[in-house]
């Protein structure tokens, strides 16, 4: 999608082009001072580098729309430098370098369906599913007699990430995790 947005039309989630790079609007505020022209304060995240900037615009300004597309792709495998995805309708394959994953690599296992954002032909971000079910590959056994509520311990999951889980979780259990916060949600099955 190409074109331009009037500053008054800016809202959270729009993708715009600044300094020849795509940005995602993560926050926008309208301010009308007592005197003078209205201003729009925005927070934008660079879709390539991930840094957040703040910019202020006056009413009447225009911003170019970023030419980005989002595709739903299936994760296939990785070679530790590149992650490989496939379009399930066309069977076309895409390669994403590890630096474009934004920590999604901690949550992806073979067959996971995810959103990949492209800028032109280049994949720039991969969004992990909001919730994943992963096997616990290692955790310390629970201490006997520890019946206090909310006792947590570290557990390593099959993708290599470590999270905090309740004391009753054991190696081999399948757990559901919120990828946005890295928090344990529930045990899906026992080992």
Q: Are residues 142 and 179 in the same domain?
A: yes
What domain count does the chain have? 3
pLDDT value for 49: 81
User: Which residue segment(s) compose the domain that 185 sits in?
Assistant: 131-189
Q: Are residues 75 and 60 in the same domain?
A: no
What is the band of 25 on the pLDDT scale with cuts at 50, 70, 90?
Answer: very high
Residue 156 CA: distances (Å) to CA of 7, 117, 134, 159, 181 = 46, 29, 10, 8, 16
Residue 183 CA: distances (Å) to CA of 70, 114, 160, 161, 188 = 26, 19, 15, 12, 14
CATH value at residue 167: 2.40.50.140
Q: Are residues 8 and 61 in the same domain?
A: yes
pLDDT tens digits along 37-90:
888 999 999 988 888 999 999 888 999 999 899 999 999 999 988 999 999 999
pLDDT value for 143: 66
Q: Are residues 159 and 120 in the same domain?
A: no
b/e 49-83 (16+ beta carbons within 10 angstroms → b):
eeeeeeeebeeebebeebebeebebebeebeeeeb
- Give the tokens for residue 130: 């909001």
pLDDT value for 1: 44
pLDDT value for 147: 57
- Beta strands at 21-31 and 4-6: parallel, antiparallel or unpaired: unpaired
pLDDT tens digits along 139-190:
988 766 665 567 889 999 999 999 999 988 999 999 999 998 999 999 998 8
Q: Are residues 135 and 185 in the same domain?
A: yes
pLDDT tens digits along 5-15:
998 888 998 99
Q: Are residues 10 and 60 in the same domain?
A: yes
């Amino acid at each position: 999608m190409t074109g331009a947005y009037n500053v008054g039309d800016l809202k959270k989630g729009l993708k715009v082009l600044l300094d020849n790079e795509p940005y995602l609007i993560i926050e926008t505020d309208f301010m009308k001072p007592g005197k003078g022209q209205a201003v729009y304060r925005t927070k934008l995240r660079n879709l390539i580098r991930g840094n957040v900037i703040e910019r202020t615009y006056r009413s009447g300004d225009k911003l170019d729309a970023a030419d980005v597309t989002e595709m739903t792709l299936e994760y296939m495998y990785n070679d530790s430098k590149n992650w490989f995805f496939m379009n399930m309708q066309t069977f076309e394959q895409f390669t994403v370098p590890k630096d474009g994953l934004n920590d999604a690599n901690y949550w992806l296992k073979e067959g996971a369906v995810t959103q990949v954002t492209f800028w032109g032909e280049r994949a720039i971000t991969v969004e992990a599913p909001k919730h994943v079910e992963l096997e616990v590959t290692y955790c310390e056994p629970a201490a006997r007699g520890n019946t206090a509520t909310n006792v947590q311990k570290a557990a390593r999951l099959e993708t290599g990430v470590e999270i905090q889980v309740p004391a009753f979780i054991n190696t081999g259990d399948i757990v559901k995790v919120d990828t946005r916060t890295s928090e344990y949600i529930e045990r899906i099955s026992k080992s």
